[in-house]
Structure 1
Amino acid sequence: MYPYLQRLGRSLMLPVAVLPVAALMLGIGYAIDSQGGNQFSALLMTAGDTILSNLGILFALGVALGMSNDRDGSSALSGLVAFLMVTTLLKPDKLTDIVNIPLEELSYSFEKIDNAFIGIISGLTASSLYNKFSKTRLPDAFAFFSGRRMVPILTSIAMIFVSGLLYFIWPPVYEGLVGFGEWISGMGWFGAALYGFFNRLLIPTGLHHALNAVFWFDLIGINDIGNFWASVGEKGVTGMYQAGFFPVMMFGLPAAGLAIYRKADPRYRKEVGSLYLAGAVTAFVTGVTEPIEFSFMFIAPVLYFAHAILSMLSLGFAAFMQWTAGFGFSAGAIDFILSSQIPIANKPFLLILQGLVFAGLYYLVFSFLIEKLDIASPGRKGPLSLDFDAGRGRKGSLPEKDSKELKDSKAEKEYQQARRILEALGGKDNIENFTNCATRLRLNVKDTSVIDQEKIKSSGAAGVKIMGENAAHVIIGTNVQFVADALHDVMDEE
């Protein structure tokens, strides 16, 4: 299970890498004009929000691609199909027609169906189907739909059943969290601490929105964000569900990133450092912490649990001391400076002192856990990213061929054909790169004059087309995908 979570965490590196720039665009736009009306500010905020508002899609693509055996692009397409299916089928205005229930009688939970959790489920479903069926052969009459082309079709069908399950599962889960939030809201500073713990713990699922709706907005009358910015309520109390996030986001998580960097293998520190430097600046300035959190929450869940505990302590302590500040976007420096001017803010600059203390706590706790538990944090026991090459997975990391498949007569025939084609093309050194379409191998080569066309035809190919000095097409037929796979493997063997 742990290696599986590690692989899932690595799969999220691709979409996570784009988050810092999105957050910075939002933060800069918000700093230029938080009230609206400035066109350049609106441009930046819209551009940044485009990415951050579509985390579900990004995670569906990233997980599907990263969890598939050979990281082929068709797995990402399947992930997109999966996400679009479930979020469309469970969209309230579509769902009311499907189940024949009036819109007002549907659970409000379906308004939050396009979240990161659904994206991860979609990606995992698509990658599982890809790994199982991407090499499946259909009868010759349907050979065009064999292999990788079959996977998006199967995914769309599977997601109908997944959506059916979520129709029953999602509402009680979401509504149960709302009820839980209503219960802990009556516990004062201790309730703020519990809220901080579960807010962070639920980030990987996207269900933290249910708790946020209870405490931040006017779901049950707390409306902590709205009341703070309107300067309504009790000084030292209004803002208690926001203030404790400032020490965590501005100071704690950047310090956690520093600890992970310091414990990384020296060979990978440059890569790790670039990720966490960007994440730290983003977290401090804008309060957007997903680039840091998603970098370790699945790879090192123990660290993420420690992060949730420290968040609990921060929110609880700030609420107990009645140090308050608020945010309109997130708990970063921009919102801190703006909110400190609001009359109902109470001793907000003491949160900076608390932040410095929590920076030390985060650094010490993360360093201790990584060292003592020998946690495979980012860059500690291998490279951080998925080292893609030419859209075909990690270098030197092609999936092992199943022994039963190798014994299959068709598979062996295609490997023999691939070897003859490679030899007729002038060997591995003459091939720059190649892809395949529906029936052909499309090759870029150094010199087409050395290609032995007759030898290629004798291998079973239907024909050869020389497209110029450096390009050629080898016509295989509808089983071209499997010959292309075999050619990739044969080239790697040399």
Structure 2
Amino acid sequence: MKKYLQRLGRSLMLPVAVLPAAAILMGIGYWIDPSGWGSDSVLAAFLIKAGASIIDHIPILFAVGVAFGMAKDKDGSAAISGLVAFLVVTTMLSTNTVALLLGIDVESVDAAFGKIDNAFIGILSGLIAAAMYNRFSQVKLPDFLAFFSGKRLVPIMSAVAMLVASALLFYIWPIVFGALVSFGESISALGAFGAGLYGFFNRLLIPTGLHHALNTVFWFDTVGINDIGKFWDGSGVKGVTGMYQAGFFPIMMFGLPAAGLAMYHTAKTKRKKQVASLVLAAGFTSFFTGVTEPLEFSFMFLAPVLYVVHAILTGLSLFIAAAFHWTAGFGFSAGFVDYILSMRLPMANVPLMLVVQGLVFAVVYYFVFRFLIVKFDMKTLGREDEDEEVATTSSDTSFAKLATEIYAGLGGASNVSSINYCATRLRVEVEDIKNVDQQRIKNTGVYGINIVGPNSLQVIVGANVQFVADEIGKLRK
């Protein structure tokens, strides 16, 4: 189950990665016409609506992305099957169809069916389509039906499966929807404290990938909160909408880079230069793009207490921002780019105070991390025992050489069963974990290694992971 959920988390990164395009388009549009929201400028209207075309169809992106990512071969027929599955369930359980099936007026249909076009249903559609692909993509039918064999059979079976799922959801969805609404309302009803709880669990779940499920409830239109969508389309409440996003900016732009500085300053003298190259790159990535995994994974497993502290501070940041009604939003993550793009949006409220808060949190992160590292002799970057020390630089930084060395460390063709990647990590399945030379992989300068199962591991490469994965793919051919 853990491996399955991690694969789901990786698959969700594909559709989520599309959101920056919407953020750029809508951000520039609102920057041009921050008060008219496009009504006073044709160019602004064009850009805003172009961005909305992505934001408004996140559930479809999830259906296609999850189906593609969870399919064993990552084939295009799995992706189109995800779309087919989503279209079937959202049509069968639309308000008009339900009214027709029950023979009642549209106004009398349960409100849950008005929200069937949501991220949760998108993910469910993708999972079912992927399951159909994995089960039927190699099935051979009798000769007179041979045209529909193999991958052509997958969309058909996905449609059939979703008809069954739709029949079940007809009874289950109103109950599930009610529970989700109650959960969302129980947190949102807590106001700033609820935002703080959300921030804490968001970070705490990062290692498992389950933070995506939590994000779905608060960021998207699963239960009506839709914090990202309402922030960017201007349909929310000023000073309130964005409360589940704003508190991340002080952490990702200031707090985590300061934590990296603390790790640099507490590293052994002879290791400082090597650690500096790593934390500088990871810190800049966190600040500029909001991608925090390189920094987080650099201490998540080396010093888990620090990671819990990081989660607590993240919750505190969201609580403070929400309590003072300081809001900003993001299309991808809470980095500098999204911060600048969102500053002039109608829903942004005193966003400059998030910078002030961020500077305070930078000081807090730096001194808390430094104190804990020194006080408890935590083996963070550059503080490992001599026989465990990790080289953080490589004599050759080319992707081909890096990939060759990592692949050899994994055991090569005889040991690697499968390998793919997400935003920053290589995800590897091996025949025997004992045949993996972890020290050799670490010596390439990667951010870290995470053993997630008896035959599964992750190599934290960073933002250039795609290019390393591409080179490994060439080696495997």
Taking structure 1 as the reference length, the TM-score comes to 0.56
Equivalence for 1:69: 72
Separation in structure 2 between the aligned mates of residue 129 and residue 61 of structure 1, nearest angstrom: 14
1:210/1:38 Cα in 2 relative to 1: closer, same or farther (>3 Å)? closer
**Are the aligned partners of 2:26 and 2:51 in contact in 1 as well (CA < 8 Å)?**
yes
1:66/1:213 Cα in 2 relative to 1: closer, same or farther (>3 Å)? closer
Equivalence for 1:15: 15
Equivalence for 2:359: 356
Separation in structure 2 between the aligned mates of residue 258 and residue 203 of structure 1, nearest angstrom: 28
**Are the aligned partners of 1:133 and 1:150 in contact in 2 as well (CA < 8 Å)?**
yes
1:227/1:27 Cα in 2 relative to 1: closer, same or farther (>3 Å)? closer
Structure 2, unmatched stretches of 5+, are 204-210, 228-233, 265-273, 373-378, 382-446
Equivalence for 1:55: 58
Separation in structure 2 between the aligned mates of residue 178 and residue 166 of structure 1, nearest angstrom: 16
Is 2:209 the partner of 1:207? Answer: no
Separation in structure 2 between the aligned mates of residue 171 and residue 281 of structure 1, nearest angstrom: 41
**Which stretch shifts more, 202-211 or 18-27?**
202-211
Equivalence for 1:90: 93
Query: How much does 1:30 deviate?
Result: 1.1
1:165/1:81 Cα in 2 relative to 1: closer, same or farther (>3 Å)? same
Equivalence for 1:32: 32
1:17/1:105 Cα in 2 relative to 1: closer, same or farther (>3 Å)? same
Let me know the Cα RMSD of the aligned residues. Answer: 5.0
Once the two structures are superposed, the pairs formed by residues 247-286 of structure 1 within 5 Å of their partners are 247-249=247-249, 251-252=251-252, 277=285, 281=288
Separation in structure 1 between the aligned mates of residue 200 and residue 33 of structure 2, nearest angstrom: 32
Once the two structures are superposed, the pairs formed by residues 270-309 of structure 1 within 5 Å of their partners are 277=285, 281=288
Taking structure 2 as the reference length, the TM-score comes to 0.58
Query: How much does 1:157 deviate?
Result: 0.4
Counterpart code for 1:323? F
Percent same amino acid at aligned positions?
42
**Which stretch shifts more, 240-249 or 28-37?**
240-249
Partner of residue 149 from structure 2, selected from 146, 150, 154: 146
1:50/1:148 Cα in 2 relative to 1: closer, same or farther (>3 Å)? same
Equivalence for 1:325: 326
SS for the counterpart of 1:135 is: coil
Separation in structure 2 between the aligned mates of residue 161 and residue 254 of structure 1, nearest angstrom: 49
**Are the aligned partners of 1:245 and 1:314 in contact in 2 as well (CA < 8 Å)?**
no
**Which stretch shifts more, 144-153 or 160-169?**
160-169
Query: For residues 434-487 of structure 1, what are the alpha-carbon distances to aligned partners after superposition, in whole Å with 9 as ceiling and x for unaligned?
Result: xxxxxxxxxxxxxxxxxxxxxxxxxxxxxxxxxxxxxxxxxxxxxxxxxxxxxx
Query: How much does 1:395 deviate?
Result: 5.3
Partner of residue 379 from structure 1, selected from 417, 436, 460: 460
1:206/1:181 Cα in 2 relative to 1: closer, same or farther (>3 Å)? closer
1:154/1:388 Cα in 2 relative to 1: closer, same or farther (>3 Å)? farther
Equivalence for 1:3: 3
1:339/1:323 Cα in 2 relative to 1: closer, same or farther (>3 Å)? farther
1:395/1:46 Cα in 2 relative to 1: closer, same or farther (>3 Å)? farther
Query: How much does 1:67 deviate?
Result: 1.9
Query: For residues 306-346 of structure 1, what are the alpha-carbon distances to aligned partners after superposition, in whole Å with 9 as ceiling and x for unaligned?
Result: 88755432232345xx533346988844555677997xx6x
**Which stretch shifts more, 371-380 or 83-92?**
371-380
The higher radius of gyration belongs to 1
Once the two structures are superposed, the pairs formed by residues 76-115 of structure 1 within 5 Å of their partners are 76-115=79-118
Query: How much does 1:355 deviate?
Result: 2.1
Structure 1, unmatched stretches of 5+, are 217-224, 230-238, 284-290, 398-491
Aligned residues: 353
**Are the aligned partners of 1:19 and 1:51 in contact in 2 as well (CA < 8 Å)?**
yes
